[in-house]
């Protein structure tokens, strides 16, 4: 029964990671085509995505998001198929994402005073992933 629950939770985590992967890919493409350097949509989004905090060493932060979500997806998939060793890597990835998400929320709330809806959606996904890590029996 516990094993079945674990499979369900890791499958949910894989699907959530897949959603985040799609979003991060979309945002990375926007950044590469330069669309976040111009105004054409939500003012707050452009304020956030066009800020200095949206890049690390010239690389869009969304590109790191691709890496993180893909890793989470991969680890969750393997974990769902019974690869026990990857569970700790899944937990490590998600907690790293959680910490980065907290920092990005802090930047939006207290430094930029603007919230990007894409970033909030991603934050919500990371919080759900964190909940999965907490709820998964082996992670306790």
Q: Which parts of this chain interact with another protein (CB under 8 A)?
A: 18, 21-22, 25-26, 28-30, 32-35, 37-43, 46-47, 50, 66, 70, 73-74, 77-78, 80-81, 83
User: 57 or 140: whose CB is closer to another protein?
Assistant: 57
What is the distance between the alpha carbons of residues 55 and 40, in angstroms, rounded to a whole number? 20
3-state secondary structure (DSSP) of residue 50: coil
Other beta carbons within 10 angstroms of residue 33's beta carbon come to 10
What is the distance between the alpha carbons of residues 140 and 137, in angstroms, rounded to a whole number? 6
Pairing mode, strands 59-60 and 55-56: antiparallel
- The distance of closest approach from Cβ of residue 125 to another protein in the complex, given in angstroms and rounded to an integer, is 16
- The distance of closest approach from Cβ of residue 19 to another protein in the complex, given in angstroms and rounded to an integer, is 12
Which helix (H) or strand (E) segment is 60 a member of? strand 59-60
User: 82 or 134: whose CB is closer to another protein?
Assistant: 82
User: 50 or 131: whose CB is closer to another protein?
Assistant: 50
User: 18 or 128: whose CB is closer to another protein?
Assistant: 18
What is the distance between the alpha carbons of residues 89 and 93, in angstroms, rounded to a whole number? 6
- The distance of closest approach from Cβ of residue 47 to another protein in the complex, given in angstroms and rounded to an integer, is 6
- The distance of closest approach from Cβ of residue 93 to another protein in the complex, given in angstroms and rounded to an integer, is 14
What is the distance between the alpha carbons of residues 12 and 18, in angstroms, rounded to a whole number? 10
Tell me the two tokens of residue 101.
């998400």
- The distance of closest approach from Cβ of residue 102 to another protein in the complex, given in angstroms and rounded to an integer, is 25
User: 1 or 40: whose CB is closer to another protein?
Assistant: 40
């Amino acid at each position: 029964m516990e094993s079945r629950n674990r499979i369900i939770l890791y499958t949910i985590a894989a699907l959530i990671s897949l959603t985040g992967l799609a979003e991060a890919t979309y945002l990375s493409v926007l950044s590469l085509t330069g669309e976040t350097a111009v105004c054409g949509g939500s003012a707050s989004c452009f304020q956030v995505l066009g800020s200095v905090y949206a890049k690390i060493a010239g690389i869009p932060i969304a590109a790191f998001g691709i890496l993180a979500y893909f890793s989470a997806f991969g680890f969750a998939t393997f974990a769902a198929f019974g690869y026990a060793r990857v569970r700790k890597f899944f937990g490590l990835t998600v907690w790293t994402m959680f910490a980065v998400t907290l920092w990005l929320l802090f930047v939006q709330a207290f430094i930029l005073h603007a919230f990007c809806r894409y970033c909030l959606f991603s934050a919500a996904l990371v919080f759900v992933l964190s909940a999965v890590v907490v709820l998964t029996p082996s992670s306790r």
